[in-house]
A = this chain, B = another copy of it.
Amino acid sequence: MTSDLVNRLRKAGYKITPPRLAVLEVIQRESEHLNPNEILVQAQRIHPQTGRATVYRTLELLTTLGMVRPIYVGDSGPTYIRAEGGHHHLVCSGCGRVIDFDECVVESMERELEERFGFCIQSHLLEFYGICACCREASRVTKEG
């Protein structure tokens, strides 16, 4: 729920403003990875006056607080995802397609890393890169067809 993130913002001593709420809601409800411009456009549907600079400032704030984080997924430019829990992607280098999957064995590593490095781990990102079936098929056709 968004209210969870809102509370974290509030507890950290930041004011809850319409543009911040809008950005939070957009990031919360979109499973897709949105870039700053897309976030701006969607945030403006919620709070029309939202300015581009505010989106950047909010994203930076949320990133600092560890609530979202930027990643690349094939295409160009940064994209933001929620930082909670884990994100598991299968990214095709050929077409840029991104498949999400759930199973993840890395939780088992967290405890050990925390002890070894004195970290308090909050989330993780696991991405595999390769070529999807379609692209492999396409390149075969191209080269051998």
Listed in ascending order, the chain A residues whose CB lies under 8 Å from chain B are 63-66, 69-72, 78, 83, 90, 92-93, 99, 101, 103-106, 108-110, 112-114, 116-133, 136
* CB proximity of A99 to chain B, nearest CB, Å: 6
The 8 Å CB contact of A71, one of B72, B113, B123, is B72
The 8 Å CB contact of A126, one of B64, B70, B106, B130, is B106
Given A72-B78, A129-B83, answer yes or no on A93-B66 (Cβ-Cβ < 8 Å).
yes
Top 7 A-B residue pairs of the complex, sorted by shortest distance between their CB atoms = A118-B133, A121-B130, A66-B93, A124-B128, A122-B130, A119-B130, A125-B127
Closest to A126 in B: B126
